[in-house]
A and B are shown apart, each in its own frame.
Chain A
């Protein structure tokens, strides 16, 4: 009988460790899990150290991906504390269900066309995307960047048959930087993030200024989060001047 007790104790200890894993960061800090749209990668990654400096007990952990995928995961109960999507339409159902609350716009973004450096094929605007023989990729229709791109094309009356509809905006950009696609519709911030590996071709001013084709980034606290206080602080920080500096540096427009 004496052989059994240590086993139970070890088991309990293991469960204890696993149970604590959800909210424990490194060095005894609390972990704040932020799920954010892929296009926010550079801006939020740059913002995190400043936030942690002001909130020393918190460590920010990011999961970047397509807004629609992340929204679905949060809806299914993924352990996120903060959710930031690339459009309000993706966030709306979660607000309605009470899965997230207190959304606030933290940034805006503009679409642009990414091409190879030097623009070898001479793409000048949205109209050129309909050129036969040009390999064009867009985001999937369900993703915010996909919705916006198709809206912009529709508004300009241009029909494009994309060679592929990628899952998120970073995937679209990879196709262009790898040379598999000639052009892709992404955000201005994404082209900026890859530096010299892609070039941005501006979308016609009239279309670009249309608020309907501007990406709006709401950030919200997830209901029942482990780190509710820290989550609220993070959203607030993102809207503060300090946070907005990171967004601006990445090329985002203010909310």
Chain B
């Protein structure tokens, strides 16, 4: 077999494999669309349980993203720039929520921040703050799983940033915070934005940790994934399908938006 022929055969194989992979990924989505009660869509969406879950998910996921960014960006900075001895350990810690099964994460959060938890008991006794069964608790659970999605790209961006710009800013009279705010952050923006969007998508889809740590109460802690699960359990199948469709639509939109932000970092 001559070279061009061999390459054509190989690329045909690749095409077949690729088509299989694409089908594998597309099939569940097609199944979902096939069973969507299109005529009853508006009715389903209007159900109080469904609408409430959508609203709650929006609020909690956005709050969780804000928390993840507020905590994750400084951590990423420290990991990328500070000369700390335990950096490798801290970096591993930051990635733990990625590999931990979400339910395990929920259990761990309970043991730490529950009413009788390591820190939770003091929060309850001294400050009267209780996290389980509250919307704040759902936000905490979602922020926990979303954090690595912020830390990873942010650390990469800060680490690979061109220090000369920061040096130039300092020689011009900008102190540490000003340099960060006016030079480092704007230059790292594309990576940070991508991380925040991924974190938001993760928070939106979070189930195991949320239901374990925050429980399920409509309007307070019953987010869309929890509502889908309960709907399935109790035979409210159409509602579950409709909610699943909403999450899929959101995820796909997120992916499309994210690609754009990668394409044009700095039109410098």
Contacts and interface: CB of A to CB of B under 8 A. Distances in A.
- Touching chains A and B, CB distance < 8 Å: yes
A125 interface: no
B114 A179 contact: yes
Contact of A163 (B114, B133, B235): B133
B72 interface: no
B233 A164 contact: no
A39 interface: no
Interface of A: 66, 68-69, 72, 93, 135, 137, 140-142, 161-167, 175, 178-181
B132 interface: yes
Nearest to A65: B233
B110 interface: yes
Interface stretch (B21-29, B73-81, B213-221): B213-221
Nearest to B111: A178
Nearest to B212: A171
Contact of A180 (B132, B211, B218): B132
B230 interface: yes
Contacts of B33: none
Given A72-B232, A161-B217, 9 more contacts: A68-B234, A93-B235, A140-B230, A141-B234, A163-B132, A164-B214, A164-B217, A167-B233, A180-B132
B216 A180 contact: no
Given A135-B133, A140-B233, A166 B110 contact: no
Contacts of B115: 179-180
B116 interface: yes
B246 to A, nearest CB: 21
B234 A180 contact: no
A178 B116 contact: yes
B216 A140 contact: yes
B114 A178 contact: yes
Contacts of A164: 132-133, 214-217, 221
Given A164-B216, A164-B221, A178 B233 contact: no
B217 A163 contact: yes
A166 B216 contact: yes
A165 B229 CA distance: 13
Contacts of A179: 114-116
Contact of B217 (A68, A165, A178): A165
A162 B217 contact: yes
A144 B235 CA distance: 14
Contacts of A165: 215-218
Contacts of A93: 235
A101 B238 CA distance: 27
Most A Cβ at <10 Å: residue of B116, B133, B214, B233? B233
Nearest to A164: B215
Contact of A142 (B214, B217, B230): B230
A184 to B, nearest CB: 11
Nearest to A73: B233
A68 B133 CA distance: 23
Given A164-B133, A164-B221, A179-B116, A142 B215 contact: no
A179 to B, nearest CB: 4
A40 B115 CA distance: 29
A223 B129 CA distance: 52
Most A Cβ at <10 Å: residue of B110, B130, B133, B232? B133
Contacts of B116: 178-180
B235 A72 contact: yes
A180 B235 contact: no
11 contacts: A72-B232, A72-B235, A140-B230, A140-B234, A142-B230, A164-B133, A164-B217, A165-B217, A165-B218, A167-B230, A180-B114
A179 B211 CA distance: 17
B222 to A, nearest CB: 8
Contacts of A163: 132-133, 215, 217
Contacts of A66: 233
Interface in B104-161: 110, 114-116, 130, 132-133
* CB-based closest 5 A-B pairs: A164-B215, A142-B234, A163-B133, A179-B116, A164-B133
A94 to B, nearest CB: 11
Nearest to B121: A179
A164 B215 CA distance: 5
A3 B218 CA distance: 61
A142 B221 contact: no
Contacts of B211: 167
